Structure formats: C-alpha cells, structure tokens
Structure 1
Amino acid sequence: MSLLVKICGLSTRETLDVALEGGADMVGFVFFPPSPRHISLGVARDLGSRAKGRAVKVALTVDADDATFENIIETLRPDMLQLHGKETVARLRDIKQKFGLPLMKALPVETASDLAGLPGYASVADRILFDARAPKDATRPGGLGAPFDWHVLENLDLDLPYMVSGGLHADNVAEAIRVTRAGGVDVSSGIESSPGVKDPEMIRAFIRAARATQELMAR
C-alpha cells in the first residue's frame, strides 16, 4: 500500500500549488480561529476549487457545531472531515449520519494509556490520526511542532488506516514511518518558516523525504 502524504494548514494559492505539484495525496484546511492557519470561508472556496480532483480535500475542525460544518461543506466541498477536538464517539456517529462524509479522528498521544479510547473511535471513524498531546496550557490541540514517542505505536494492531503527525519534518519523517508503520504522514508546522507561513521548499523537501522512505521500505 502506498504512503499517503498530507500537507495541512494551507492558506495560499502558491503553497497549495506547491503541495499539489509535489504530489501531496491530501491537503488540509484549518477552520479554527485560535490557529495561525485558520482560513475564512472565502479563501476556502477559492482553494477548494483549485484543489478539486487533484488531492483529497480535508477540513480540519475542533469541536465544531453543525452550523459550522454546514458552512464549511457548502464552501470547501471537502472529501473528508478531520475532527481534532474532544469529540466523543457518539458525536462522530452524529456527524457521519448528518453529513455523510468520511471522518478522520485525531487522537492525542503521549503514553500507551492514551490508546484506551481507540477501539471506540475506530468503530466509527474512517481513519485515525495519531498526534502529539498538547501541553495543558496550549490554546490549540495540534500544529505545535512537538513529536510524541512513536514507539507507543510500534506494536499497534489496528485494521483501520492510520496516519501520524506532530513535530514531523523532512529530517525525521523517515524514522516516524519506520517505527510506526503508519500508512500516512501529516505535516503542518514542520514545513513553516514561521507559525502559519508555509515554506515552498520545505513542503517539497518533506514530500521528497516521505516518498524516498516509502520506496526504501517497499524493497
């Protein structure tokens, strides 16, 4: 199975084009005002039409209400919803029933005990994203540039597709893939020159590094 590369937190035409031309499988757009990567619905409409048919469009939300989902879906036309908050399994079921879109649930990880809720989420979600647990005083749950101990996932027995994120960049993505055996990697802060500002060459370098690792592991 080929490795999926997701470039998240895109907010400009230039960086979206770099990600698409570089071969990103998924492109993520953030709808969460506290994040420096948050985009307006107007920008989402423009970027969404630009990405249509070229990559899987993922809308990232944090404990969003139904009205927020309706607005995002109407403007971005996402292929998948990424739930990055404290959404319960019941809330996932509700969202799936109401909007009929595939769901990717982000789970914060620090220790093996953080995987206790995984079976419940795996019964509803279409994909799991393992991300580093944010510090208690953090204002947002992800995009903080900190990795977690990938060895927590080393012996993971999960039939559902999963990805890893949190502190990834071109220099460590190979090790993350090797340890976790994840089917996908997700990067945001690791391809930025400053919070929220994507760097085109860093995007290209990350995708190249991920693809090179995929080729090595396929041999």
Structure 2
Amino acid sequence: MTTEVKICGINSAEAMQSTLDAGADYVGLVFFERSPRNVDLAMARTLADMARDRLQVIALVVDADDALLEAIAREVAPHLIQLHGKETPKRANDVRRQFGIPVMKAVSVAGPDDVRGALAYDGFVDRLLFDAKPRADEPGALPGGNGVAFDWEALAAVERDANDLLADCILAGGLTPENVAEAVRLTGVRAVDVSSGVESSPGVKDAERIRRFISAAKTANQTP
C-alpha cells in the first residue's frame, strides 16, 4: 500500500506548486495567528483554488469559534477541517454537523494510553491525527509544527486494525525526509503529515525537501 502524504502549513503559491508537483495527497492550510504558517482567507482561497482538482484541502484551526469556521467554510470550502486544539468530542461533532464538512481531530501523544484515549472521539470525528505532545517546559510551544517526534512505539504498540478510526490515522510530529520511511515501516500507518520537516526556516517550505519527503514516504513499504 502506498502511503498518503499531507504537507501542512502551505502559505504561498510557490509552496503549493511544489506540493502539487511532488504528488502530495493532502495539503494543510493553517488558520492560527501565532503560527509562522498562518494564512488569511484571501490567500487560503487562492491556494485552495490551485489545489482543489488535484488533492484534498484541509483547514487547520485551533479552538476556533463558529465565526471563523463559517468564514473558512464559505471562502475556502475545504474537504476537511482539522481541529488542533482542545476541542472535545462534542465540539468536534457539533462542527461536523453545523458546517457539513468532515472533521479530523489532532491528538497529542506521549504514550500508548494517549492513542487509546483517542477512541473517545469515535463516532464524533471522521479521522484522527497523532502528533507529539508539546513539552511542559515550553509553554509557548505551538499545538503542532514544532518539529518534535513522539516515540513511534506508542503507536505501534496499540492494535489499530479492529477500529476504523485508529486504522486510518495520520502520523505527524518530527517527521523529515530522513526518518519518514522508518516511521511508516515501524507504525504501519497509512498516512503521514509534515510541516517543519520540509522547511528551510519557520514557515518557508523547501521544494526539494518536499519532493524527498513524499518520495520516501510513498516508497517506504516497497520490497527492496
């Protein structure tokens, strides 16, 4: 099975074109002002229009209110909304029902119990993304995109095939062109997500790193 790839934090036409050319399956647009990858609605609409016929557009928000979500739904029309804050299962389900857009919940992971705990969202979201839990001694850390990996054994240790939500999860956190193949082989995930791991500086995507990341992820399970 070929691994699906999401390139998150695209904030320029150049980065979007590089992502399209390299063969990504998903692209993430970040609506969070503290992030160096933040985009406004006008830029997001332009980027989504570039990508719409070739891959799925995902809107990433952090504890967003209904006004922002309504604007994103109207102006960007994403295929999926990624909730990357402290949204509860009820809030996630409310977003899905109110805006008629599938929802993915990002879950912070430090160990296997966090993976199992994500089942609280079963029936309330359409997909899960597992990211590294921000360090407690870094109170200013972003909810994601920090370039920090969690122990992949935490994901590998949990039997996921019996649950569709877990089986279809996306792995994120500290992935790079150099380690993504190992992560895919160890965890058996069907999809991976990267942001800072394909950047030359915070918020600036590197076309060659995008190409190498996607190539490594998609060939990870090929027999030598």
| Structure 1 and Structure 2 fold alike (TM over 0.5) | yes
The 8 Å contact of residues 115 and 155 in structure 2, kept in 1 or not, is answered as no
Number of aligned pairs? 217
Deviation per CA, 1:109-167: give whole Å up to 9, x if none: 01223234311112211111000001231342100001000000113223221010000
Which residue number corresponds to residue 9 of structure 2? 9
* Partner Cα distance (2:112, 2:208) in 1: 35
Which residue number corresponds to residue 142 of structure 2? 140
* Partner Cα distance (1:2, 1:163) in 2: 13
Deviation per CA, 1:57-112: give whole Å up to 9, x if none: 00000000111001111111100000100000010111111011111110000122
SS at 2:10 equivalent: coil
Amino acid at match of 2:150: F
SS at 2:130 equivalent: strand
* Partner Cα distance (1:138, 1:27) in 2: 25
Query: TM-score under structure 2 normalisation?
Result: 0.93
Q: Show structure 2 runs of 5+ residues with no match.
A: none
CA RMSD, aligned part only? 1.3
Which residue number corresponds to residue 60 of structure 1? 60
Query: TM-score under structure 1 normalisation?
Result: 0.95
The 8 Å contact of residues 34 and 139 in structure 1, kept in 2 or not, is answered as no
Which residue number corresponds to residue 18 of structure 2? 18
1:166-181 to 2 correspondences below 5 Å: 166-181=173-188
Which residue number corresponds to residue 49 of structure 1? 49
1:88-167 to 2 correspondences below 5 Å: 88-136=88-136, 137-156=139-158, 157=160, 158-160=163-165, 161-167=168-174
